[in-house]
Amino acid sequence: MSHKIALNFEDGVTRFIDADASETVADASYRQGINIPLDCRDGACGTCKCFAEAGSYDLGDEYVDDALGAEEAEQGYVLTCQMRAQSDCVIRVPASSELCKTQQASFEAAISAVRQLSDSTIALSIKGEALSKLAFLPGQYVNLQVPGSEQTRAYSFSTLQKDGEVSFLIRNVPGGLMSSFLTGLAKAGDSMTLAGPLGSFYLREIKRPLLLLAGGTGLAPFTAMLEKIAEQGSEHPLHLIYGVTNDFDLVEMDKLEALAARIPNFSFSACVANPDSSHPLKGYVTQHIEPKHLNDGEVDVYLCGPPPMVEAVSHYIREQGIAPANFYYEKFAASA
């Protein structure tokens, strides 16, 4: 039986390989042209030590303590020359993709749909046979090349890949290169190039309650994460707080309602910062974080939004005197 292994390199590049249950992750990696750090192959030197963030695996029993201590193994460290996957896994490799003689993958696809969800938000979907081979971790992003230019823009997937199609939420920036293309020139069938996946902001194995905080189009990675959670289920409560500036910035509310119907222990709220808003909840996301959401620190917090929001949330959590078990965040800024 073959399992899919995500190799996350320290420069943000992620590559996926297939590993049979009978072969080590290192052997599978080299078989597919990715040279992760390796020396002895006998579990003696520790050169291939990586960190397994998710999945089930057999550590092997031929390595020595000097290469991998019992405490390290308990924490999730592995020797890829000994490790054999027993499920899909996510492995953090302490080396750059260039050093490992690989690079981000590139794909060609075509626009399948462009929708203006509001004055501030555009939904873009692209589809192509090549994308049926695209694998990524929910929450990650790609670099999309702006047609007619050499420039790229980074966007998080807002959906999982299905039948060779993926989607994105894109902020409509007046005068922005990608925004101008999408609002003025783009049509179904236009070719687009994307490179990736990239990023360390992605859904980890759910071991405790989650608090998800989205600002504007920072909602995108969370809808992809929630699609994955809807598929695999979760025994832990999940709460999303989605904050925007103006009423018209609120998008994809119907999608969130549908996800709440599919995920029994998922709830969400949305708030609008503009004091003149007609929305029931006003203010910033920090004003709507309740003590139960932080669960006395036994919570994993995921945050995606502009830099001021990331700083405000970090400050708020520190003020509460609570240290979450994990705090993952992604800052983004619009490109003009």
Q: What angle do CA 288, 118, 147 make, to 5 degrees?
A: 120
pLDDT at residue 335 greater than cutoff 60 = no
69-76 contact pairs (CB < 8 A, 24+): 75/51, 76/51, 76/52
E strands, the chain, in order:
2-9, 14-20, 49-54, 57-58, 77-79, 84-85, 89-93, 105-118, 121-127, 141-145, 152-156, 165-171, 191-198, 210-215, 238-244, 266-272, 300-305, 326-331
pLDDT at residue 336 greater than cutoff 60 = no
Count of Cβ atoms closer than 10 Å to residue 298 Cβ: 13
Contacts of 299 (CB under 8 A, 6+ apart): 208, 209, 210, 211, 293, 324, 325
Lowest mean pLDDT among 20-24, 59-63, 182-186, 306-310: 59-63
CA separation for the pair 157, 221 (Å, rounded): 6
pLDDT in tens, 182-203: 999 999 999 999 999 999 899 9
Task: List, as one string, the DSSP characters of 216-231.
Answer: GGGGHHHHHHHHHHHH
8 A C-beta contact, residue 252 and residue 117: yes
Domain boundaries, the chain: 2-93, 105-198, 210-331
What local confidence, expressed as pLDDT, does residue 60 receive? Answer: 87
What local confidence, expressed as pLDDT, does residue 333 receive? Answer: 64
CATH 3.40.50.620 fits 210-331, yes or no: no
What local confidence, expressed as pLDDT, does residue 334 receive? Answer: 60
CATH 3.10.20.30 fits 2-93, yes or no: yes
Fold exhibited by the domain 105-198: Elongation Factor Tu (Ef-tu); domain 3 (2.40.30)
DSSP H stretches of helix in the chain? 25-31, 70-75, 177-184, 220-232, 253-262, 291-294, 307-319
pLDDT in tens, 280-314: 999 999 999 999 999 999 999 999 999 999 999 99
Percent of the chain with pLDDT over 70: 99
Average pLDDT over residues 21-25: 92
**64 SS3 class:** coil
pLDDT at residue 77 greater than cutoff 80 = yes
What local confidence, expressed as pLDDT, does residue 40 receive? Answer: 84
Residue 76, sorted as left (phi over 0), alpha (psi -120 to 50) or beta, turns out to be: left
Q: Which one, of 116, 120, 114, lies nearest residue 247 by Cα?
A: 120
8 A C-beta contact, residue 165 and residue 126: yes
Using omega within 30 degrees of 0 as the cis cutoff, is the peptide bond preceding 307 cis? no
CA separation for the pair 332, 310 (Å, rounded): 10
8 A C-beta contact, residue 14 and residue 89: no
Tokens 């996800």 belong to 259
CA separation for the pair 255, 259 (Å, rounded): 6
Q: Mean pLDDT in the chain?
A: 93
Average pLDDT over residues 262-283: 95
pTM: 0.88
What local confidence, expressed as pLDDT, does residue 18 receive? Answer: 94
CA separation for the pair 24, 96 (Å, rounded): 21
> Confidence class of residue 5 from pLDDT cuts 50, 70 and 90?
very high
Tokens 């072969």 belong to 23
Tokens 């309740």 belong to 290
Q: Which DSSP symbol is given to 287?
A: G
8 A C-beta contact, residue 315 and residue 296: no
> Confidence class of residue 39 from pLDDT cuts 50, 70 and 90?
confident
Decide if 2-93 and 210-331 have a common fold.
no
pLDDT in tens, 132-160: 989 999 999 999 999 989 999 999 999 99
The structure tokens listed for 279 are 């929305």
What local confidence, expressed as pLDDT, does residue 65 receive? Answer: 85
